[in-house]
Amino acid sequence: MQAETKTELSPGLLEFIRQWKDKPGNLIMVLHRVQQEYRYVPRDVAFQVAALLEVPLAKIYGVITFYHLFKLKQPGRHVIAVCMGTACYLKGGEDLIRELETLIGAGVNTVSPDGEFSVEVVRCLGCCGLAPVLTIDGEVFGNLTKAQLPDVLAKYQGKQLAAATA
């Protein structure tokens, strides 16, 4: 098996992998670091991580698919995470998701046709006092109503991606 195109890993990432290589249970920490850089785990990067850490690719795939935060596909330029903790659910989190579908044409776990936004559901951001809440690229918007969504989105539409959401 050979990966198609080879992405060159950054020195920072390589250094991180070197530091963690001999620590037991390092895989999840390394995958977090990979996602910090690429926002998902690209296939050929997974190949390289497998070789560097000397773990089977199947194990990496297993771990990625088990945990919600690890992604195999590239997300939209801006990631919208709608909180669906209990407080947000009761106060209208679902309405926000439905409204987003109409506004940007992307439902949960999909990317909008223009590649601008992707929508995810998160299980409680712990801002229950501000319910309902969503985050865009990590910035939190609380006490939201459907009517406010177009303005919130407009802040991001067409903007260059700020720092990756860590």
Catalog residues that contact another protein under the rule CB under 8 A. Answer: 24-29, 31-32, 59, 62-63, 66-70, 84-87, 89-90, 98, 102, 122-131, 133, 138, 140-142, 166
DSSP-derived 3-state class of residue 81: strand
**What single letter denotes the amino acid at residue 106?**
A
Residue 68 vs 73, nearer CB to another protein: 68
User: What is the DSSP secondary structure assignment for residue 109, as one 8-state letter?
Assistant: T
Quickly count helices (H) and strands (E) in the chain: 7, 5
Q: Contact 118/106 with Cβ under 8 angstroms?
A: yes
Residue 1 vs 147, nearer CB to another protein: 147
Q: How far is the CB of 72 from another protein (least distance, A)?
A: 13
Q: How far is the CB of 111 from another protein (least distance, A)?
A: 19
Residue 114 vs 139, nearer CB to another protein: 139
110 to 140, 158, 159: CA distances (angstroms): 20, 18, 20
Residue 66 vs 160, nearer CB to another protein: 66
Asked if the bond preceding 132 is cis, omega within 30° of 0, the reply is yes
Q: How far is the CB of 155 from another protein (least distance, A)?
A: 15
